[in-house]
Structure 1
Amino acid sequence: MNLEIIRSRASAVLSSFILLIALSYCTKSFAQNAVSTAELLTDKQVSALLPDALRTKLGINFPIFKVYKYVDKAGQYYCVLTESQDVINKEKDAFNKMSNYKIKAINFKSENGTLTKTWEINDNTQPNMHGEESIWFWIKYAQFSDFDNDGLIEPIIVYGTHGLNNYDDGRVKFIIYYNGQKIAIRHQNGVLDDERETAVDKAFYSLPMKLQEAVKEKMDLMVKNNQAIFPFGWQKAMQKKKVFFSERGD
């Protein structure tokens, strides 16, 4: 075998090796940068996805408010937000005409035409807390995004209540799902300074910074929209990674 043939075969082997490495890299890169998408389904899409018989089977017992569909490298999911719709208040304005005493969010993974529950959220009004009258999901602040670019979507679910003084007496709650862990921020509004307090799960401060900042931006927006009054200096408290802060000095 002459030298030219040996060189040719060696070159072919090297080319194949390089191609194999490139394919492996591309596959890994694609998995890490898989396109993650999220959308709100229309009422028609919700009816087609979840007919009445299936809702009963899946344990969807309250009227459906909204359904988010999101897709990432782990699969396709549906987050179903439901509210009990207990009382219609004709004297209220359009925004507050419905009172919900309970809410429930159920997250499903879709595989081979079957929906399997992966997690859920349950909460209800607490009439002893400033006479809470209603609880509902705040979709203006909800978000389904891949904040750390790992190909997986991190849902942020937000809901709140109102009481005798509307938002001024209500509660606000953030639920963040990250790597199978449920992380929460709980806030109580209040007419008086010493009634306002915020509790932050310690794990929140271990989240990717971009995700933390997204939540803080939503908190800022709530203040601007007069839907929350966080304790004075709350931004600095969160910079110091405090898990509880109020205006009582504790």
Structure 2
Amino acid sequence: MKKIYTLLLLCLFTLTVAAQTDITPSSKKLTKAETEEFFTPAFKKKNLINFPIFRAYTYQDKSGTYYVALSESADTVNKEKDTVNYTIKAFNFKVDKTISLKKWEINDFKIPTIKGDEKESSIWFWTKYCGFNDLDGDGLIDPIIVYGTFGLNGYDDGRAKILIYYKGIKTAIRHQNSVIDAGRNTQVDATFYQLPAQIQNHVKELMEKMVKNNHAIFPAAYIDKMGKKITQLTNE
């Protein structure tokens, strides 16, 4: 009898693992109603989500189901009627039945104004470049979050940041724009070079799109050099 019970447990475990493995990774942007259904006032209060949620997503892969909220402080409105944010926060929650566990959080802000000297006016998520896809085909979603700032001359002297989450490990690419060669600076975490080639190539393509859309100034040499193990890049 004991052997039969053990065999049944083993079969149940095998079927559970097989079911999880068979899940096709998928993601979607949540509607306003779907966002409010998951991120209720009580849930936001409990998890200290104090800013308005600008955009929310859900994704599912063989490791489970996740919800992501991108929130911005919405401090004021400028002359062009654009919302100005001084701070942004992002949250990722894994949902297991009735339990939601926070997996990671992003906190960033524009460079503070000192004695009337304003270097940056706003910071916000660049959802055009954000994505939740299984880039290397291992059955796990590889979240990529992109955001940036406006400097005194808009994008020309603002900053951009690309965050890649691979198997729970965050890798960052930090970039300072400038129309002056000496003013540009790109810092790449060493872990970027440990990422699968598919993810590295996808990030390089994102950088090229950002250049094409005039959202960042990455000379071709920057992106070419990223094929080598360099943790800090400056324009030559």
Q: Provide TM-score, normalisation by structure 2.
A: 0.88
- Structure 1 ranges of 4+ moved more than 4 A: 26-33
* Cα deviations by residue, 1:118-173 (Å, 9 ceiling, x for unpaired): 11010000046971010000010001111122211110000000111000011000
Matches within 5 A, 1:1-250: 31-32=20-21, 34-89=23-78, 91-92=79-80, 97-127=82-112, 131-231=119-219, 233-247=221-235, 249=236
Query: TM-score, normalised to structure 1's length?
Result: 0.83
Task: Give the drift of 1:235.
Answer: 2.4
Change in Cα spacing, 1:33 to 1:86, as seen in structure 2 (3 Å) is: same
Quote the offset at 1:191 in angstroms.
2.7
Distance between the aligned counterparts of 1:150 and 1:45, measured in 2?
A: 28
> What is the rounded CA distance, in whole Å, between the counterparts of 2:138 and 2:102 in structure 1?
23
Cα pair 2:67 2:92 within 8 Å, conserved: yes
Q: Which amino acid aligns with 2:168?
A: G
The amino acid across from 1:182 in the alignment is K
CA RMSD of aligned residues (A): 2.3
Rg comparison, structure with higher value: 1
Structure 1 residue 77 displacement after superposition: 0.3
Do 2:54 and 2:70's aligned partners in 1 also have CA atoms closer than 8 Å? yes
One-letter identity of the residue aligned with 1:60? I
Aligned residues: 223
Residues 52 and 30 (structure 1), Cα distance of their counterparts in 2 relative to 1, 3 Å cut: closer
For 1:73 and 1:246, locate their aligned partners in 2 and report how far apart those are by CA, in whole Å. 40
Q: Distance in 1 between matches of 2:63 and 2:57?
A: 16
Give the match for residue 17 of structure 1: none
